A and B are shown apart, each in its own frame.
Chain A
Amino acid sequence: MDERQPPADEPRAEPANRRRVLMLGAVGAAAVVSIRPALAQTAGSVLNCEIPVPDRGRAGSFIDADGGVVAPGTKGAFAPPPRPFKGEEVKRALTGSQLPGTSYESNRAYVNYIRRLQRGQGGFTCFASLQMPRG
């Protein structure tokens, strides 16, 4: 039986079969954003971080209207933008502006993609940083 109770005097430990899962993430993803002192007040480095659409592992794929990553050339989907978007551009897009070089429809598709970013994907750290309140 692997459901033994720990002795009362032993600190409660996670059972071996319920260990935390650790994801090393995608090669192109970032796990660190640095805030340098001179820029800390404006969080400049956060706003200068970049969000590739899609992430580098899927470069060249198209983005459909819902923000899904689909095969290049898929009808109704949008070709990826020629360069990653800056954090500042994304921040403005999240409040109603349009990403540079986009149409109304492609902007909506790219923003949907960015909103759906998960931890471990390229651009997630940057996107998540944009949500953080700043003093």
Chain B
Amino acid sequence: MADPLFRAPTVDLLHVCPLDDAFTAIFHRASGITHLLVSPAPEILAALADAPLTQAALRDRLAAAYDLADADPQALAARLAELVEVGLIDAA
């Protein structure tokens, strides 16, 4: 079975507003729901903004942009599952 691709909404569907060091507020126009995110969720959304990625490709993309202090695949899977659950990304 192919690995699922995770897809973020296009930029025009999200209104992203960093609030302070810890929080980013994201208004999802399609659902009308505002989400408060802490790292690494905003970074994951940004990494998926250009094109859908598998979890492994996403991990590589994040590792290219940041020093991953804890590159735990289960933790990344948990963050992705959480973003899918609240409707900020799709898995296909």
Interface residues, chain A, CB within 8 Å of chain B? 19-37, 40, 46, 119, 124-125, 128-129, 132
On whether the beta carbons of A119 and B66 are closer than 8 Å, the reply is no
Residue of A nearest to B83 (CB): A32
Contact A31 B23 (CB under 8 A): no
A118 to chain B minimum Cβ distance, whole angstroms, is: 11
The reply to whether A125 and B40 form a contact with Cβ atoms under 8 Å apart is no
- Which residue of the partner chain B has the closest CB to A26? B75
The total of interchain contacts (Cβ-Cβ below 8 angstroms) comes to: 89
Docked-complex contact B68 and A22, CB < 8 angstroms: yes
Question: B-side binding surface: helix, strand, loop or mixed?
Answer: mixed
What is the predominant secondary structure among interface residues of chain A facing chain B? loop
* Nearest 4 interchain pairs by C-beta: A22-B66, A24-B75, A31-B41, A33-B36
Interface bracket on B:
20 to 34
Q: Which chain B residues border A30 with CB–CB below 8 Å?
A: 82
Docked-complex contact A35 and B22, CB < 8 angstroms: no
**B residues with CB within 8 A of A:** 22-23, 32-41, 43, 62, 65-72, 74-76, 78-79, 82-83, 86, 88
CA of A34 to CA of B75, assembled, Å = 20
Residues of B within 8 A of A40 (CB): 34
Chain A positions within 8 Å of B88 at CB level: 32
Nearest chain A CB to B71's CB is how many angstroms away?
Answer: 7
Complex contact B75–A35 (CB within 8 A): no
Q: Check B40 against A27 for contact (C-beta < 8 Å).
A: no
